[in-house]
Amino acid sequence: MGTVPRDRSVLSPAAFLLRGLAVGLVAGLIAFVVAFAFGEPYVDDAIALEEAAAAQPHAEGAEHAEESSHADDGMVEISRENQKSWGLLTGTLAIGAALGGLASLAAAAVLGRLGSLSARGSTALVALIGFVAVTLVPFTKYPATPPAVGSGETIGGRTASYFGLLLVSVLTAIAVVVLANRLRKRYDGWTAAFIAAGGYVAVVTVTAMLLPTVNELGDFPADTLWYFRRSSLVTLAALWASIGVGLTLLVGRLHDRAAADLARRELAASL
Amino acid sequence: MSQSTVTPLAAPAVQVPVVPLLQLGTWVVFFGLLAMLAIFFVSADQGAISLPAGNAVHEWVHDARHLLGYPCH
C-alpha cells in the first residue's frame, strides 16, 4: 500500500492522457499534411465526376452532389478551399487527439503487465494493435469511399455496419490481449501471442462475413477509386505511426522517471 | 517493505511501476465518452444521425470524413 500515493505523482493516468493528447494533435497535423498532399487531388477528381454526373438531366444521385446544397433550413455551403484546408484539419486534429488519448490510456493499462515487454515495447504494441483493430480491419470490409460513391439512402445502414465491425474488432482485440496474457503463463510468450492473433482474425473474419457487403460504385473509374483509397490508407497509417512513435518516446521517458523514482525509494527504504 | 500496488499477473522479481487499474478506469470512462463524442462529430454527424439539424458540421469536416475512411456520401 505504502508506495501507491507516491507513485501517483509520476505515473498517473493524467500524465499518460496529457502525453496522448499532445502526441495525437501532432499526429493529426501530420495526417492533415499527408491527406492534403496525397488525398485531396482525388477528392477533387471525385467531386468533378459527381458534378459532371449531376449536370446530366437523367443522372441518378444528382441530388447528392456535394455542392448543390440548398440554402434553406440550416443548409450551408462551405467552399472547397475551406473544406480541403481548415475543415480537413479540424477533422484530423479531432480524430488524432481522440485516438492519441485513447491509445495513451491503453498504454497505461498494459505498462508493466505484459510479461517481459518494456514500457516502450508495450506502448508500441498498443499503437500497432490500434492501427490493425481500429483502422485496417474495418477498412478491409468497408474501405474509404470518395465523394460520388455511396448513396444518401444507404448511409444509415452503412454507418451501422461500419461501426458494428469497428466495435467487434476493438473489443475482440482487447479480449485477446487479456487472453494472451493468461496463456503466457502456460505456454511461452510467442505461442500465446500467435494463439491470440489467430483468435482475433477468426472472430473479425466471421463478423465481416456476416455483415452486409456494400457495392455502390456504379461506373466510378477504378483508377481514381484506388488512388483515393490508397491515399486514405496512407493518411491513416501516418496518423497511427505518428501516435505510435510519439507515444513510445514519451511513455518510455515517463516510465524511466517512474522507475528511477521507485529505485530511489527502495534504496531509501532499505537504509 | 510492502511494494505491490496492483500485482501484475506474473509479478516479476524486479520492480516495475504499474498504473493502478481502478484509478485508470475512471479516466478511461471520462475520456472514452469525450473521445466518442469527438469521433461522432467527425465521422457520422449529419449523415446517418443529425444532432444539430442542417449540414454545417458535415460540410465542414467533409473531406476528413472521406479521407479517414468513414462512411459518407
Q: State ipTM.
A: 0.84
- Of B38, B44, B54, nearest to A159 by CB-CB distance is B44
Q: Do A232 and B9 touch (CB under 8 A)?
A: no
Residue of A nearest to B70 (CA): A144
Q: What angle do CA A42, B53, B65 make, to 5 degrees?
A: 20
Whether residue B63 contacts residue B56, with contact meaning beta carbons closer than 8 Å, is answered with no
**Which pLDDT does position B35 carry in this prediction?**
95
Cβ-based burial of B14 (10 A; exposed 0-12, middle 13-18, buried ≥19):
exposed
Per-residue pLDDT of chain A (271 residues), as tens digits, is 444 444 445 789 999 999 999 999 999 999 999 999 999 999 999 999 888 888 876 545 444 444 444 445 667 888 888 888 999 999 999 999 999 999 999 999 999 999 889 999 999 999 999 999 999 999 999 999 998 887 778 888 899 999 999 999 999 999 999 999 999 999 988 999 999 999 999 999 999 999 999 888 888 899 999 999 999 999 999 999 999 999 999 999 999 998 888 888 888 888 8
Residue B45 pairs with which residues in a beta bridge? B49
Chain A CB contacts of B72 below 8 Å: 145, 147, 150, 155
Pick from B67, B44, B38: which is nearest to A36 by CA?
A: B67
Residue of B nearest to A179 (CA): B9
**Which pLDDT does position A219 carry in this prediction?**
85
Q: Which structural domain range is residue A129 located in? A: 12-151+216-270
Query: B interface mutation test: which of A76, A134, A179 has the most B CBs within 10 A?
Result: A76
Within a domain: residue A40? yes
CA distance A198 to chain B (A): 22
Pick from B61, B51, B17: which is nearest to A112 by CA?
A: B17
**Which pLDDT does position A75 carry in this prediction?**
79
Whether residue B19 contacts residue A76, with contact meaning beta carbons closer than 8 Å, is answered with no
Within a domain: residue A189? no
**Which pLDDT does position A67 carry in this prediction?**
44
Chain B CB contacts of A111 below 8 Å: 17-19
* C-alpha cell of residue A111: 505498462
A206: part of which helix (H) or strand (E)?
A: helix A189-210
Domains identified in chain A, total number: 1
**Which pLDDT does position A143 carry in this prediction?**
94
CA distance A252 to B2: 25
- Of B17, B21, B47, nearest to A159 by CB-CB distance is B47
* C-alpha cell of residue B60: 465542414
CA distance A77 to A165: 32
- Of B12, B24, B41, nearest to A13 by CB-CB distance is B24
Q: Do A144 and B67 touch (CB under 8 A)?
A: yes
For residue range B11-49, what is the model confidence (pLDDT) as tens digits? 444 556 888 899 899 999 999 999 999 999 988 777 777
Q: Do A184 and B8 touch (CB under 8 A)?
A: no
**Which pLDDT does position A55 carry in this prediction?**
82
